[in-house]
Amino acid sequence: MPEEFKRLNRELAYRGSIIDFYKDTVLVPNGNLVKWDFIAHKGAAAVVPVLPDGRLLLVRQYRNALDRYTLEIPAGGRNGAQEPFLDCAFRELEEETGYRTEKESMEFLLSLRTTVAFCNEQIEIYVAKNLVKTQQHLDEDEFINVHAYEMEELLAKIYSGEMEDSKTVAAILAYKAKYL
């Protein structure tokens, strides 16, 4: 009987614009063959934008998967698996919020794996300070409103269940623990 898991086959079932869906055949430690779903993702980056007065900028946008609006930190997918996460975070900050900073003013906060049971998505999260107001550069399918919040307001939204986005919850709590 094998003592480790061994992937024997990975078959592409669907290629999408954001994800690729695979059917894997895996030999498990008891000797059985199992079929598992696997979603490949190119990765993403997100930003905790901090205004000079300490408030955090969040974006409100419609999310089709939930069929409702959500409140999130700005984030977006990498332009391919080779794009550095920091470059992606830098780009998404200005695109979504209409604020920018120098890359030297962005500090790594944490790395997340969003759904480890079936997806390899990795999100690197940065803190951005020394923000300068510019303008949003939204994609044609993005309709985003930007709002500034005090930490207490955000914590209330998290603990009431109003804010559920995992990257946003993790980022806000990590920011509070590290900086406040």
Q: What is the pLDDT along the chain (180 residues), one digit of tens a residue?
A: 567 999 999 999 999 999 999 999 999 999 999 999 999 999 999 999 999 999 999 999 999 999 999 999 999 999 998 999 999 999 999 999 999 999 999 999 999 999 999 999 999 999 999 999 999 999 899 899 999 999 999 999 999 999 999 999 999 999 999 999
CB 109, CB 127: distance < 8 Å: yes
| pLDDT for the residue numbered 2 | 60
Residues 6 or more apart from 28 whose CB is under 8 A from it? 2, 5, 34
CATH class of 42-179: alpha beta
Listed by start position, the domains of the chain span: 6-40, 42-179
CB 175, CB 149: distance < 8 Å: no
> Of 3, 4, 104, 140, which is the active-site residue?
140
| pLDDT for the residue numbered 1 | 57
Relative to beta strand 106-113, strand 122-128 is antiparallel
Positive or negative, the CA dihedral 111, 116, 120, 121 is negative
| pLDDT for the residue numbered 88 | 98
Instruction: Let me know if 72 is a catalytic residue.
Output: no
| pLDDT for the residue numbered 3 | 78
Strands (E), 64-153: 68-72, 75-77, 99-100, 106-113, 122-128, 132-133, 145-149
